[in-house]
Amino acid sequence: MFRFYIALLMGKIARIAIKILGRSGGTNYPGQLALKICPQLLAYVGRPEKIIAITGTNGKTTTSNLLADIFEKNGYTITTNRFGSNIDTGIATSLLTGVTLANKPKNKLAVLEVDERSSLKIYNYIKPDFLVCTNLLRDSLFRNPHPYFIFDIIEKALPSKTVLVLNADDLITARLGSLKGNRRVYYSVARFPEDRDEPFNLTNDMALCPLCGAPLKFSYVKYNHIGRAYCPSCSFGSPAADYTLKAVLDNEIEVAENESEDRYHMVYGTIHFLYDEIAAIAAARSFGLSADQIKRALADASVVSTRLEEVSEGEVKIITYMTKSQIATACSGVFDIVRGFPGKKEVVLILDELHGNVSENMSYIYDTDYEFLNHESISRIVIVGARCKDNYLRLLLAGVPAERLAMSETGEDAAELLELAPGSTLFILPDLTQPAEAEKIRQAVLGRLRSGKEA
């Protein structure tokens, strides 16, 4: 334990020092240092009475933020890593921050976003009371070869007493806890008019029944393998949901729970954010908050601007929508949203860039549905970044006519390559490493619109 207290002290000193010096890394380095001093730190650090963890391929940050908001607005002071890293070092930093020098927890509740691959390192010591899993989809190749690999990691690490809050519409996620007999709470989103009968993305990682190997049939598909499915040859299928997002009504969502129905403020109306919101509601209800408590907390909730930001200048709307490069399913989801957005559109893609001396594995663009951008309502696509030629070729292979494409390696002239017709929408789609580039282009577009250069 002596080692632990040294680690605790050093971690706290590091955090203060980083803060005073105004350096970055304050949400990760203290934990990194403390874990180096005491590798068993997570076993010893004081923890709140209740822990809610959120994991999954996509949506865990938004879901964690929503949950943290819900609890904070209901008077809880929480230990959270919402501004920091979601791997073991970030979790350690958050927990160190959440205890006194005597290792006494300051808060009764922790809401922790957990990187799926870090499950083994974390759940061995930190046993969440609730674990939300948003979905398991194809992720960045360099870390996660496929969703089954991540499923196996989480399943292996899962404490048997943890209550699982799972996406019933993801048949990979929905099977978590089946071997250990965890209590499982499921959420779902009902069929909407725009849903399809069959998988329509390039990738569908739940094409075959995991029990008998027969091709699965879908009742409806939201995206990739997310939807309701069943096996025509055996009993396997999507589990019944405890919480179902039944409908979107203007700025509200209607959620069915047992025999009752409640309406909540809608955070954002695209399918990915709807899943994040119903996940947060299901988790908060499972924890014990009342529907009214959640409703009040969500009344003015919104998506953080680093993920999604809308502005209008004159008759042109500009939507900056974070699009995680390297993750084909995330990019495809955004491309599908762009395709379905009403009216004429233009797109600026800022997905791939040089990152120091590290190359990017560009294979992911061949798992991504660039075909969605081959749509008559999209008049121009400007591809920005050092690897624009790869994206250009991919878009040609997707059938996008060359006259709709333009490349801007540096991004400097990107704004000039756009039409910006009155009444149109410009989607700027940056990778999460490219917010500065996105903002630079957005400002250039705004400047062009304000100076009246638009068409």
Partner 1 sequence: MLRIEMLYPEAANLYGDRFNAWYLQKSCPGSTVISTSFSDVPAFAKGEADIVCMGGAPEIYQEKAIAALMPYRSALQECIDKGTIFLFTGNAVEAAAEYIENEDGSRIGSLGLTKLYAKRDRMNRYNSIFLGSFDGGESGQIEIAGFRSQSSMMYGDNSSFYAFASEKGCGINRESTLAGVRLGNFFGTYLLGPLLPMNPEFTRYILRLAGENEAAPAFEKEAAAAFEARLMEFRDPHFATENLR
- 3-class secondary structure per residue, 375-405: CCCEEEEEEECCCHHHHHHHHHHCCCCHHHE
Tell me: does residue 83 bind partner 1 (CB under 8 A).
Answer: no
Q: Pick the binder of partner 1 from 60, 121, 387, 404 (CB under 8 A).
A: 387
Closest CB to partner 1 among 212 and 436?
212
Least Å from the CB of residue 278 to partner 1: 28
For residue 310, the surrounding DSSP H or E stretch is strand 308-313
Q: Rounded to whole angstroms, how far apart are CA atoms 287 and 355?
A: 41
Q: Rounded to whole angstroms, how far apart are CA atoms 280 and 267?
A: 11
Least Å from the CB of residue 326 to partner 1: 7
Site string for partner 1, 304-333 (x = CB under 8 A): ----------------------x-x-----
Site string for partner 1, 365-384 (x = CB under 8 A): xxx-----------------
Q: What are phi and psi of 385, to 5 degrees?
A: 125, 170
Tell me: does residue 207 bind partner 1 (CB under 8 A).
Answer: yes
Least Å from the CB of residue 40 to partner 1: 20
Q: Rounded to whole angstroms, how far apart are CA atoms 431 and 442?
A: 14
Sheet strands side by side (includes 184-189): 78-80, 109-113, 50-55, 130-133, 163-167, 184-189, 243-249, 252-257, 260-265
Cα angle at 272 between 270 and 277, to 5 degrees? 95
Closest CB to partner 1 among 373 and 415?
373
Would residue 232 be called left, alpha or beta, if left means φ above 0 and alpha means ψ between -120 and 50 degrees? alpha
Least Å from the CB of residue 57 to partner 1: 15
How many residues contact partner 1, by CB under 8 A? 41
Q: Rounded to whole angstroms, how far apart are CA atoms 185 and 164?
A: 6
Show contacts with partner 1 in window 135-194 (CB under 8 A): 138, 140-143, 145-149
DSSP character for 239? P
Closest CB to partner 1 among 277 and 390?
390
Q: Pick the binder of partner 1 from 24, 260, 359, 451 (CB under 8 A).
A: 359
Least Å from the CB of residue 364 to partner 1: 7
Q: Pick the binder of partner 1 from 1, 16, 208, 211 (CB under 8 A).
A: 208
Least Å from the CB of residue 318 to partner 1: 28
Residue 403: exposed, middle, or buried by beta-carbon count in 10 A (0-12, 13-18, 19+)? Answer: exposed
Q: Which residues bind partner 1 (CB under 8 A)?
A: 138, 140-143, 145-149, 202-205, 207-208, 213, 215, 326, 328, 355, 357-367, 386-387, 389-390, 392-394, 396-397
